[in-house]
Structure 1
Amino acid sequence: MIKSGRVWRNWSGIVRAKPRSVLYPSHIDEVVEAVNQCRREGRKLRVIGSGHSFTALVASDDMLLSLDRMQGILQVNAETRTATVWAGTKLKALGELLHSEGLAQENLGDIDVQSIAGAISTGTHGTGLRFGNISTQVIGITIVTGTGEVRDCTEQSHPELFKALQISLGAMGIIVQVKLKLRPSYRLSYESSRVPLDTCLENLNSYAASHRNFEFYWFPYAEPCQLKVMNETEETPTPHRITSYLSDVILENVAFGALSSLCKWVPGISAPISRLCAATVPTIRKIEHSHRVYATKRLVRFNEMEYNLPVEAMEAVIREMRETMARERYSVHFPIECRFAKADDIWISPAYGRDSAYIAVHMYRGMPYEKYFADMERIFLRHGGRPHWGKLHTLTAQQLRIAYPKWDSFLEIREKMDPDGLFLSPYLKRIFAL
């Protein structure tokens, strides 16, 4: 919780704001009143979630609003396998609440601290060619518009508005409730292994087709990469042992955090540290309920850029990235995260109209990332890249209009939903060219 006049920071600390006021509504009526107050006083209003976006989407020095007091399940329909939830509900809590009802989301990302509204507003995704991003699980949205109107929206009732709302960057209004399509609870077997990067690249299609969820991490300047695969199983969940805690928390966070700090002070050792990390990737298998196995703890803070690419471009892009890294010798030891997603029809979704690969590059917080990210971004753009909305990028409004075929349609709907520009942060005004 932050107070008026205090500095708000995102998770990595790269984005900061000093709001005039901060509100924590507990009911829709209070959200409506906040919107109407800003209209009367000519103020701006942005909603903050868990701060896991690296872009300045929500940063505002005027009014910030948190939905942390609007959490939980409102209604569950076991027959239709749907649930309506408060928009501020954190994904971790939502997974447990749904599980208690015998239900689960079909796919999730590797971080579960975000609110459901924040996750869908930025296009958060997991991995797996059979699954779209989290926004594709949404079948209903209740929103408070820029005129203070409360609107219930589905694809049947408002087809164009719904496609704009599924990923909206918080530019259409304040999402207060979300209705999700779900499935019965299920368990996953999770396996981590090491293979040479070339072997991974030669078998990408096979890995992606033969596993429910497949992703891999490759380490700069290292030969091995880490494969992560998940598949449904009826097996009993693996008992929680101290060895699992040591691997998941101590090795992946505490030890890696210490090595990262060392790289920050002595950048020249980044390459050998990367090779050390690659050599110590755990080879493990465990069984767990789905919502408990998707996410991993992220205690070591970093900055990130992630791009969506046509799925067929994955191998060529990675080989070009590897050649550039070998030539430029960036001081980076964080692995590159590579995932997959099914095509969708959401207007400003990076996966709009194409089965997709996602590639994310990271840099330890406090280490210079600008040249590394800029060089990688140029490679992504040469191959038709579209940026993840919660991750760093440098694209202008003109470039975004080319990348997203429904860009102008999205902006037209935004104008109707927020005619006074109540929800326009400085960042949004820049990327919308307003």
Structure 2
Amino acid sequence: MTTTGWQNWSGSVHATPNRIAEPRDEAELAQIVTGSDRVRVTGAGHSFMPLCETDGALVRLDRMDGELQIAADGASAWAPAGWSLARLTEKLWEKGYSLPNQGDVNPQSLAGAISTGTHGTGASLGNLSTIARGFRLMRADGGTILCDADEESELFEAQRLSLGLLGIALAIRIDIVPAYHLVEDIRAVPMAELAEQWDDLADEYRHVEFWVFPYSDMAILKTLEPCAACDPPKKQTDMDEKAFALYCKTVRRMPKLTASLQRQIMKGVKPATRSGPAYRIFPSERNVRFEEMEHQLPRANGFAALTEAIDWIRRKKLPVSFPFEFRLVAGDDIWMSPFNAGPCASISMHQYTGMPWRELFAEAEPIFRSLGGRPHWAKRHTLGRDDVATLYPKFDDFRAAVRTADPGGKFANDYLAALFDLEGDDV
């Protein structure tokens, strides 16, 4: 147990918890919970919002004991909530299983990914919250409770995307599928051509996404498809991180070179293919630090929002270093999911660390919001309490579930208490 400070992956969120605890079992965790006024849990720190910021106890669960338990029918498994996606997917593979989908990095904890709606890409595939079928939670009094669609159903519905407000997830029952392999193809395509073919590509491939620099008329198209069993890939990433890091450092020093360097980069993009076990192909190396904002929009509005954002950047000659990332995600019925209004186009906007991003994101956010966008909970946004209540019809139900599960507000922090109006007399 330590009392040192904490910061998130990008270095932009700082906290001074009164202790950072790494319990080894539930008994230790219960002592921490009952002995603290405020408790937040952190995984890999990949949230760009102050979700883990606290002056109370900050808990890491990756050292907790626990095991992966596959159901008899092979359709689900109970998994330790504090395990990283990297550890979980490797253990699943050893037992002959995979997750239905993943994002492009895997250090996040299972609980962190589910509680924020982390996602990959695929028109028919939901975010990771949609694979949760049950939770085992520790409550504010140190006791535990099980919830699923049949038992404690109101708690379960709120917990499916909870932001950590209803308790500490100890184990999560998740959907799994038989282990599969993937082939990844990457190529450069003209944006105009991609826009015309996008719906066909989305129908043809299980996973499809693209990246586009704001000053280039070419995009990097990436597709993933199930394939026959094959050896693990020799290359562990879908990009040359060293070359990209050099480019980012250059534009940070000389922002006026941003446009010309982006066009030059795209001239050097060559077709590339790799294949292997799904859990090895989904994630890639992402060590170049950045800040990120992401919005989920009605799928029909995706290209309009992207075009407007790019036009705005070009018109104002803004030094936006990273490409936009464009993905597809299926709709769901989760109370606080940004995807619960139907199928979405997901657009991520990044800026290299050390380059101005606050004003940039603040100016860009209205573009996405005006076209029906709702932000990723863990990515940069400026939503307030009234915005959340307007955007989410189940806001009151979620808030009521939080107040019932944690009437003392032990699992909130100042940011979340304000966002969900949890500062009343009964909290």
| Partner Cα distance (1:53, 1:326) in 2 | 29
Q: Which amino acid aligns with 1:19?
A: P
**Equivalence for 1:77:** 71
Q: TM-score, normalised by structure 1?
A: 0.94
Q: Percent identity?
A: 36
Q: Which amino acid aligns with 2:93?
A: H
**Equivalence for 2:397:** 409
**Equivalence for 1:209:** 203
**Equivalence for 2:119:** 125
Structure 2 residue 339 is matched with structure 1 residue 341: no
How far 1:286 moved relative to its partner? 1.6
**Equivalence for 2:299:** 311
How far 1:316 moved relative to its partner? 1.0
How far 1:79 moved relative to its partner? 2.4
Q: Of 144, 148, 153, which residue of structure 2 is paired with 1:150?
A: 144
How far 1:273 moved relative to its partner? 2.0
* 2:240 match: secondary structure: helix
Deviates more, 1:270-279 or 1:358-367: 270-279
Structure 2 residue 43 is matched with structure 1 residue 49: yes
* Correspondences of 1:9-408 after superposition (within 5 Å): 9-38=7-36, 43-70=37-64, 73-237=67-231, 240=234, 244=235, 248=237, 252-408=240-396
* 2:35 match: secondary structure: helix
How far 1:161 moved relative to its partner? 1.5
Question: For residues 431 and 281 of structure 1, do their structure 2 counterparts lie closer, same or farther at Cα, with a shift above 3 Å needed?
Answer: farther
Question: For residues 398 and 97 of structure 1, do their structure 2 counterparts lie closer, same or farther at Cα, with a shift above 3 Å needed?
Answer: same
The size of the alignment, in residue pairs, is: 422
How far 1:125 moved relative to its partner? 0.3
Q: TM-score, normalised by structure 2?
A: 0.96
Deviates more, 1:155-164 or 1:183-192: 155-164
Deviations 1:317-370 (A, max 9, x none): 111112111111111120100111111111100101311111000000010012
Structure 1's unaligned 5+ residue stretches are none
How far 1:81 moved relative to its partner? 2.6
* 1:319 match: secondary structure: helix
How far 1:71 moved relative to its partner? 5.9
* 1:73 match: secondary structure: coil
How far 1:235 moved relative to its partner? 4.8
Deviations 1:71-120 (A, max 9, x none): 65331225233211111111011111000100110000111000101110
How far 1:133 moved relative to its partner? 0.5
Q: Which amino acid aligns with 2:395?
A: W
The answer to whether the 8 Å contact 1:73/1:97 transfers is no
| Partner Cα distance (1:387, 1:281) in 2 | 30
Question: For residues 159 and 239 of structure 1, do their structure 2 counterparts lie closer, same or farther at Cα, with a shift above 3 Å needed?
Answer: closer
How far 1:264 moved relative to its partner? 1.2
The answer to whether the 8 Å contact 1:215/1:340 transfers is yes
Q: Which amino acid aligns with 1:164?
A: A
| Partner Cα distance (2:8, 2:81) in 1 | 19
CA RMSD in angstroms, aligned pairs only = 1.5
The answer to whether the 8 Å contact 1:71/1:90 transfers is no
* 1:350 match: secondary structure: coil
